[in-house]
Amino acid sequence: MSISKEQLQNLPTGPGIYQFYDNSGGILYIGKAKNLRNRVKSYFQKSEDLQETRSEAIFQMVGLANQIKIVETDSEIEAVFLEAELINKIKPKYNSRQKDDKSFQVIEISKDEIPRVELRRTRNVDLKNKNFYYFGPYPSGDIVKRALRILRKIFPFANCSQTKYRRAEKISKACLYGDINLCLAPCEKSSIPECKKQVSYLKDFLSGKKQKIIQSLSKEMTDLSRRKKYEEASVIRDKLFALEHLNRFSVGLKDSFDDFRTGSIFARIEAYDISNIGGEFSVGAMTVVSLGKIDKSDYKKFRIKTVSGANDIAMMVEVIRRRFSNNWPRPNLIVIDGGVTHLKSVNFELQKLKISIPTIAIAKGPNRDKDEFHFTSPEIGKYFQKNPELKNFAIIARDEAHRFSQNYYRKLHRKNLLK
């Protein structure tokens, strides 16, 4: 294999597509990533624990790989759709499961007067049906659902049945999607041409033609402004802004095979806690559970620098910001000691930092007699329900963070008393 560690280390850290080539220049495999360097490097990790999560075909493919090429994208969302498009065109040998698996999903767009957009199982559709456009297939239904949910806010579309549409048209009353501007409500308004235009933009996006859309929207906005239709121009402006900032949104891509051990345990859990009394000698602590074991060699202490007064939430945000300004190993799960407000604040900070890591909060209550879990998404909550042992690891990490931060606080307090 001619792929060196230096080549892997020099890969970009943004989202995109990676392609493995063999000696003859043929493409063996195409994949997507939110962090290209992390994802590609994960194929070459040697730990026996991590190999359990990989198929024999992956080992075989890596053994044949002679070269890696990447295509950077502006966002995770674009990586999802570009991967599917390239696999359909190239049909690499080691992507055969994605070509054949009938449980995968496709985006179906009808060619009706009012186009309908739906997510369908490949086993339930005829991909050769000329009455529809098909995009995909996509291995992860959850990821493509999230991506479509985001895109629908930019390009509203209808997904109702003909029966439901005719009923709404008869009473001239839009459904909830029309009320919240996720559909242009052609059943209620004369907006059929605009509906077609928005779906046309969506098709272009799914085909990797984002720049074409931006050029078209920019021209339309300029024309509206020239005609002093400022309100309509502002709508186009917002679409352009959303398209140019899609990197703000995460759709849940994973970048390594070590996200889980034996299918249920996060490989690296980092827990955070804050200790202070009345805002004095405020400190933060980070503890680590690695592959199910406490790893004290990676513990970190933080003396709070930017927050004055007793504001635990702001202190927690400062700790998170400082932690991710360092090039330390990334966790697969973040646990914070706190409630819903703590979780929302930390999650907002992670989004600003363009970091997508599952995060939970565990509220301990005033008497430290509770273990109330809060999750950033229903998917994470469901995962914890299916893996009760994971709760125990999270609690261990949280308790360790509390103990470690308390010890650091007491040490600083004692030093001050001795002055």
Asked if residue 83 belongs to a domain, the reply is: yes
Q: Which of 270, 218, 275, 277 is nearest to 244 (CA)?
A: 218
| Domain co-membership, 170 together with 288 | no
Report how far apart, in Å, the C-alpha atoms of 213 and of each of 204, 299, 300, 392, 405 are: 7, 48, 46, 49, 51
Give a yes or no: residue 25 inside a domain.
yes
Q: Which of 45, 68, 98 is the last residue of a domain?
A: 98
CB atoms inside a 10 Å sphere around CB 5: 9
Mean pLDDT of 195-218: 94
Find the helix or strand (DSSP H, E) in which 269 lies: strand 268-277
Whether 94 and 105 map to the same domain: the answer is no
Q: What is the domain range of residue 391? A: 264-417
Do 13 and 84 reside in the same domain of the chain? yes
- The DSSP bridge partners found for residue 268 are 290
Same domain, 197 and 292: no
Contact between 74 and 247 under an 8 Å Cβ cutoff? The reply is: yes
Is 168 in the same domain as 293? no
Residue 44: inside a domain, yes or no? yes
Tell whether 271 and 383 lie within a shared domain.
Answer: yes
- pLDDT for the residue numbered 1: 52
Q: Is the pLDDT of residue 48 over 70?
A: no
- Judgement on whether residues 312 and 397 belong to the same structural domain of the protein: yes
Of 145-159, 167-181, 201-215, which range is least confident? 167-181
Judge whether residue 347 has pLDDT over 50. yes
Backbone phi, then psi, for 66, in 5-degree steps? -115, -20
Better-predicted residue by pLDDT, 177 or 71: 71
Span 321-339, average pLDDT: 89
pLDDT tens digits for range 62-102: 888 999 999 999 999 999 999 999 998 898 888 865 555 55
- Which whole number is the average pLDDT over 36-40? 92
- Percent of the residues in the chain that have a pLDDT greater than 90, as a whole number: 40
Q: Lowest-confidence range among 114-128, 185-199, 274-288?
A: 274-288
- On whether residue 222 sits in a domain, the answer given is no
Six-digit token string for 347 = 């999650």
pLDDT at 210 over 50: yes
Q: Are residues 277 and 341 in the same domain?
A: yes
The answer to whether residues 27 and 168 belong to one domain is no
315 vs 389, more confident: 315
Q: What share of the chain is helix, strand, coil (3-state, %, to 5)?
A: 45, 20, 30
Residue 169: closest CA among 151, 138, 190, 150: 190
pLDDT at 86: 92
392 and 288 inside one domain: yes
* The pLDDT of residue 387 is above 80: no
What integer is the mean pLDDT of 303-329?
89
| pLDDT at residue 222, as a whole number | 94
Q: Is residue 259 part of a domain?
A: no
One domain, residues 294 and 347 = yes
List Cα–Cα distances, 354 to 186, 244, 291, 305, in angstroms. Answer: 37, 15, 26, 23
What pLDDT shows up at residue 413?
A: 65
Q: What average pLDDT does the chain have?
A: 84
Boundary of a domain, candidates 190, 206, 222: 206
246 located within any domain: no
Q: How many domains does the chain have?
A: 3
Where among 179, 206, 233 does a domain terminate?
A: 206
Q: Which two tokens stand for residue 266?
A: 């996060």
Q: Quick one: 149 and 73 in the same domain?
A: no
The CATH number of residue 367's host domain is 3.30.420.340
DSSP symbol at 95: G
Is 326 among the domain residues? yes
54: pLDDT strictly greater than 70: no
Rounded to whole angstroms, the Cα distance separating 184 from 369 reads 51
Indicate whether 133 pLDDT > 90.
yes
- Backbone phi, psi, residue 203, to 5°: -60, -40
Show Cβ contacts of residue 417 under 8 Å, excluding neighbours closer than 6 positions. Answer: none
Better pLDDT: 194 or 100: 194
CATH number at residue 55: 3.40.1440.10
pLDDT band, residue 31 (cuts 50/70/90) = very high
**Phi, psi at 385, each rounded to 5°:** -65, -40
Q: What is the pLDDT of residue 109?
A: 96
Q: What tokens were used for 55?
A: 């198929």
276 residue type, one letter: N
Which structure tokens are listed for 201? 């933009």
Measured distance CA(280)–CA(263) in Å, rounded: 43
Answer whether residue 105 shows pLDDT above 90. Answer: no
- Choose among 85, 127, 146, 400: nearest CA to 269: 400
The answer to whether residue 407 is domain-embedded is yes
Cross-strand bridge partners of residue 362: 337, 373
Selection from 121, 127, 139 nearest residue 254 by Cα:
139
